[in-house]
Structures are given as C-alpha cells and as structure tokens.
Amino acid sequence: MGFKDLHLKIKAFRLRHFLIGDGGKKKRESENGKKPSWMVPLSHGYHVVDMYSLQDESSELDSDSVVVQREQIGENIEMWFFGVFDARIGDGVSKYMQSHLFGKKIKESEMRRRSKETLRKAYLGARAKIRETEEPEESSKVGSASAIIINGEKLVIATMGDYRAVVCRDGAIRLAKVRLLGWDSGGAARTKPTKNSQLLVGSQRIDADTEFLILASSGIWEVMKHQEAVNLIRHIDDPQEAAECLAKEALTRMSRSNISCLVIRFD
C-alpha cells in the first residue's frame, strides 16, 4: 500500500491538550484586584492530529503533547510556559522546569538568564535519558519546541530536532539569536552538529510589532516554509482557528509526520 492510499485511510483525528498546573494558590493579581500594567494580554490555541492507519495501530503514547502552563512568581513576575513535545520527551522538560525554575525566588533582572539556562538543562537532561534506551540514530530524531514569556515583554525559545518556533513581527518571520549545541553518538559536544541533532536556545524582546508565535512539530515544517505558515494564518485573529488551519494545510499537503502546533497571539 502506498503512502497516498495509507493517508486516505486515516481512522481518527483527535485534539489533545495537556494543561500542566496553573500556578496553584499563588497570587495572580495585586491586592486591589487589578492586574499590573506589565501583564500584556495573550491568547493561545493548539491542535494535535494523531493518525491511525489500518496497517499500523499506533498507541496514544506515540502522540505529541502540548503544554500550557502559567506561573506567578511573587507579585512582579508573570510567566507563561508553552511547549510542543515529541512523545519520547514526554513531560520530562515540564517537570524539570517545575522543579528548578517555577516557584523559585528569582529577581526579575535575572529571570531571562535563568530561564534560558534552565530550559537548556531541561532539554539536555531529557535527551540524555532518551539516549540511554535508544540507538543514536533514533534518538537524534527526537524533537520539541517550547517558549517562556516573561511579563509579556521577554521571550525565551528552545527548539530541538525538526520542531520549530517562529515569531511573526509585522508580517515577517523573526528568529531569535540562538546558541547552537550538537551531539555525536557518544553525547559529546561538537562544533558541526548533524541535522536533527541541534538544540537551539535564544531570546528576544516582545514589542508592539510582535504579532504571534508558532510552535510546531516536523509534520508542519516538512511541508511548508516558515514564511508560508505565517502568511497562511496572519489574518486569523483566533489562535485556536489559526492552529487548526495550519494542521489542516499540513494534511492537505500530505505530511508524513505527526502534526502538532500551538499558536500564541500577543494582543
């Protein structure tokens, strides 16, 4: 059976959303009931497509997961954590962030640096665990993309493998300055990483020109370029509708991989 025939026999599409935490009982607003001025409104939508074929009955455990988490740190720091994760990454990154960043007493001036460093370590730790159980060729294909938004002003991004994060600013894509780190089969750092073995961690400011952010799996990017994705959804105000639009377009283009995307719009 060819791929085209197999694709036509998809038996189910399922939307799944994993909401991890909400900051617990931590204070979310100032004592007078009004949100501080730095709490810039943002909205998000997500879509995950699981494809079950007649030949290959995949388990739910093979599906990507989407994470959306909000944390209030003291009275002056509001943090959002978003992620699209390969099933093999699981919740390892989220748990690491919960233990080593969220809920900690950190000064606002240090938050971006600490966020980048903690996110980098979370990814390296998750990748190391995968390498313990899988062959190097398979572990190098693992991917995920995540973002931290601090006070609606600072954006920290991490991507691994073919999962990507794309920022739209005034209609054009913008990629944050990143630190590049790759691995060889033994896990040692190398200066010329192979494709699919890259960890990118970077940051940038959020300003009036910042429109939205796309976090998406390889199922999106293997069939469309970054600017194509931006052009496709830029006119869609509802981020949920925008995420569904990206997923449907990837299906139309016969994407061969899991399709997962999350759109965050800055209002």
3-state helix, strand, coil in the chain (%, to 5): 30, 30, 40
> How confident is residue 50, by pLDDT bands cut at 50, 70 and 90?
low
95 pLDDT above the threshold of 80: yes
- 150-200 pLDDT, tens digit per residue, is 999 999 999 998 999 999 998 888 754 444 333 333 333 333 444 555 789
Pick the range with the lowest mean pLDDT from 18-27, 54-63, 68-77, 80-89: 18-27
Pick the range with the lowest mean pLDDT from 17-21, 70-74, 251-255: 17-21
Full-model pTM: 0.77
Pair 146, 79: CB distance under 8 Å:
no
Q: Give the β-pairing of 210-216 and 198-205.
A: unpaired
Residues 6+ positions from 119 with CB-CB distance below 8 Å: 93, 97, 146, 148, 156, 158, 201
Q: Where are the beta strands (DSSP E) in the chain?
A: 18-19, 42-49, 65-73, 77-85, 144-150, 154-160, 164-169, 172-174, 177-183, 189-190, 198-205, 210-216, 259-266
Higher pLDDT, 14 or 66: 66
Average pLDDT over residues 137-160: 86
29 pLDDT above the threshold of 50: no
The rounded mean pLDDT for the chain is 76
136 pLDDT above the threshold of 70: no
Average pLDDT over residues 210-214: 94
7 sits in which H/E element: helix 3-8
Pair 5, 54: CB distance under 8 Å:
no
What is residue 166's predicted lDDT score, i.e. its pLDDT?
A: 94
CATH number of the domain to which 135 belongs: 3.60.40.10
Domains: count for the chain: 1
Residue span of the structural domain in which 126 resides: 3-266
Average pLDDT over residues 8-26: 35
